[in-house]
Amino acid sequence: MNVFGVDIGGTGIKGAPVDLERGDLAEVRCKVSTPHPATPDAVLDGVQQVVEHFGWSGPVGVTFPGVVVDGVTRTAANVDSDWIGKDARALISERLGMPVAVLNDADAAGMAEMTFGAGRGRGGTVILLTLGTGIGSAVFVDGHLLPNTELGHLELHGHDAEKRASVKAREDDDLSWEHWAHRLTKYLAHVEMLFSPELFVIGGGVSRKAEKFLPLIEGISAEIVPAGLQNNAGIVGAAMNAAKL
């Protein structure tokens, strides 16, 4: 069974049909740059472009980089603030003329990883962290999702943690892998102190380069592994959510 998934990020909007039996993309994904400013209309244009690239017709799952409650976007840290309070599900469905399901981007990635990836079969507390423009989080207890946790906005040394430990922070501050791993270690230690997880899953595009920084992280009791689906996890999770429509 194929269902379409779209992952809206701070830098890119990407999507593809997903084979939900394999938990993988059925075709090579299409990606367009996230517009700046990332207003609702501009982002909708990008989503439409990605979906139309495949000539898709049917349910569409969409992720959003912020808190999503019943299809309404409550926060918008890395896209335009005009998104706050919008019924994203209705807006996207109207634009595409198709049924749409919307959820937080990290929650989507976490669902995919717990079903098909690095969290598969794992009980206890598992935390997925997506490192990119910001830091997204998904918390699972015995496989059950606690939605919209937004742990990237925990305070770390007087700043939003994502302002210090995201991939964007590494690039903006021109940090070496070692220096960034030091910041990431402090962040992980803070999250571990609060939640005591058995497993951290590190997602986002940087998961493809896990060997450059994960071995540099020390002093964390939890197991730390890269995401099995890497940066496609959000698309897969979006499609999984839409399959419920």
The pLDDT tens digits for 125-160 are 999 999 999 999 999 999 999 999 999 999 988 999
Instruction: Please tell me whether residues 84 and 150 are part of one structural domain.
Output: no
Total domains in the chain come to 2
Q: Which of 217, 214, 221 is nearest to 198 (CA)?
A: 221
Alpha-carbon span 170 to 20, nearest angstrom: 34
On whether residue 207 sits in a domain, the answer given is yes
Q: Is the pTM of this model over 0.85?
A: yes
Instruction: Please tell me whether residues 101 and 126 are part of one structural domain.
Output: no
The reported pLDDT for the residue numbered 232 is 96
Q: By residue range, what is the domain housing residue 139? A: 120-227
What mean pLDDT is reported for the chain? Answer: 97
Instruction: Please tell me whether residues 91 and 186 are part of one structural domain.
Output: no
Instruction: Please tell me whether residues 42 and 83 are part of one structural domain.
Output: yes
Instruction: Please tell me whether residues 73 and 13 are part of one structural domain.
Output: yes
The reported pLDDT for the residue numbered 26 is 98
Alpha-carbon span 191 to 195, nearest angstrom: 6
| pLDDT tens digits, 154-190 | 998 899 999 999 999 999 999 999 999 999 999 999 9
Q: If pLDDT is split at 50, 70 and 90, which confidence band does 55 have?
A: very high
Is 135:66 a contact under the CB 8 Å cutoff? no
The domain that contains 186 carries what CATH number?
3.30.420.40
